[in-house]
Amino acid sequence: MMLIPFPTPNPLRLLLLAVLASGLLVTGCASSPSAPTSSLNEARSAVVSAEQYDAGRFAAAELGEARQKLDQANTAVKEERMAKAEQLALEARVGAELAYAKTEAAKAEAINAEMQRGAEALTDEMNRTGAQQ
């Protein structure tokens, strides 16, 4: 039986290999997915739109929740939890859009009520004028 001589490992080569392997490991662990910038911007824009449309008056709870979700999303980015940040940004956007829609409905309802009161006043005036003739 013939033995094949195995070369003795070079300590410098082993050290270089260990450094490269640990460098790759650290780089792989350190790199995280990028921040969900687009989702955060959309959420921020939706919250600002709802605020400008006076949602704080007509849908305060929904707007408050949207703001809270946006704050949580920003915190998740700082903590490098990008998947969570993405989810929270989406929830913030949807919450702000809900606040906007509720505000729109409340404003439309107020306009309808005002128009109804105007129509009733006009009807009353016509009835008084007709009764006087």
Residues of the chain with pLDDT under 70: 1-32, 131, 133
pLDDT at position 125 is: 85
Please tell me the predicted confidence (pLDDT) of residue 12. 60
Instruction: List Cα–Cα distances, 58 to 46, 100, 109, in angstroms.
Output: 16, 9, 11
| Residue 9, pLDDT score | 60
pLDDT in the model for residue 5: 54
Position 82 scores a pLDDT of: 97
For tokens 């260990």, the residue is: 18
Nearest CA among 40, 96, 44, 87 for reference residue 65: 96
At 124 the pLDDT is 84
The contacts of residue 82 (CB under 8 Å, 6+ apart) are: 32, 33, 34, 35, 36, 76
pLDDT of residue 39: 96
What confidence score (pLDDT) does residue 24 get?
A: 56
Q: Identify the pLDDT of residue 128.
A: 84
pLDDT at 96: 97
Whole-structure pTM value: 0.69
Report the C-alpha gap between 123 and 74 in whole angstroms.
56
